[in-house]
Amino acid sequence: MIKDNLGSVRKQIADTAAACGRDADTIQLLAVSKTFPIDCILQAVAAGQMCFGENYVDEAIDKISALASRGIEWHFIGAIQSNKTRVIATHFDWVQSVDREKIALRLQEQRPAEYEPLNVCIQVNVDEESTKSGALPDEVASLAKMIRACDRLKLRGLMAIPRASGNADEQLASFTKVAALYEGLRQEGYELDTLSMGMSADFVMAIKAGSTMLRIGSGIFGKRTAS
Ligand SMILES: *Cc1c(COP(=O)(O)O)cnc(C)c1O
């Protein structure tokens, strides 16, 4: 069933990309496995999915430890508390939810020197919602500059979770705003390749706006019963 869901998500990505005149190979799929057990991750791996996103540190570390040696790429995509940065810096390949200098600095200090630099995206609170984490749009430039100076971090791009809306025009407007911030940084000379936006309910509009990485959970694993 996870295999079928993955197949259908991949097909929708390919169809949407084709309809927008985009190459589907420029759009990566991150499987968001939060709250789902290891067995579900293994089913996705068997279907060729190798990149997974997790939101909760303790849950993620159990999975990462159990699945070590399988060659999985792990992305942290949840809110970051400063007392968790060390375990994030030592267990993940990517952190997509960096939203303030203090967190970037701790990750820089705690990423082991013998590891590859930690891949980082700045999370942007694009709709400026008080309930959401993320840097405000006008804070992105200074945070990007600070991260660029960190040799243990590699800035890859931006991540955003727009306001939940069933309205396609609103979704597109938010995604377009993030895409403009991303292009602005690239024009300033940042070598970015990751615009992480689009979840199960809104990924079609995200592809239209130029997303290069979709983060899909329920569309692959089914409805979440826990948080
Ligand atoms: C849970 C989550 C997702 C996946 O959401 P779905 O609606 O299940 O696809 C994507 N990104 C982040 C940051 C999440 O927390």
pLDDT given at position 227: 54
Instruction: Name the phi and psi angles at 134, rounded to 5.
Output: 120, 150
C-alpha to C-alpha distance for 124 and 140, rounded to whole angstroms: 7
Using a 6 Å cutoff on CB, does residue 14 contact ligand 1? no
Whether the CB of 77 sits within 6 Å of ligand 1: yes
Atom of ligand 1 nearest to the CA of 161: 13
Q: What is the whole-number distance in angstroms between the Cα of residue 68 and the centre of ligand 1?
A: 23
The conformation of residue 135, written as its DSSP 8-state character, comes to B
Ranges of residues in the chain whose predicted pLDDT is under 70:
226-227
Both tokens of 81, joined, read 């508390």
- Widest distance between CA atoms in the chain: 46
pTM above 0.95, yes or no: yes
Query: What 3-state class would DSSP assign to 22?
Result: coil
Ligand 1 pocket, residue 123 CB under 6 Å? no
DSSP 8-state secondary structure symbol assigned to residue 47: T
Strand intervals (E) in the chain: 28-32, 51-54, 73-76, 94-98, 118-124, 153-160, 194-196, 213-216
pLDDT given for residue 118 in this prediction: 98
Distance CA 133, CA 164 (A): 14
Indicate if ligand 1 lies below 6 Å from the C-beta of 215. Answer: yes
| Residue of minimum CA distance from atom 4 in ligand 1 | 217
Check if the beta carbon of residue 121 is closer than 8 Å to that of residue 196.
Answer: yes
Q: Tens digit of pLDDT for each residue in 45-101? A: 999 999 999 999 999 999 999 999 899 999 999 999 999 999 999 999 999 999 999
pLDDT reported for residue 129: 96
* Three-class SS state of 212: coil
198 Cβ below 6 A of ligand 1: no
Among 96, 215, 218, 225, the mutation site with the greatest number of ligand 1 atoms within 8 A of its Cβ is 215
- Tell me how far the alpha carbon of residue 42 lies from the centroid of ligand 1, in angstroms: 19
Structure tokens at 27: 């759009």
d(CA 213, CA 221): 18
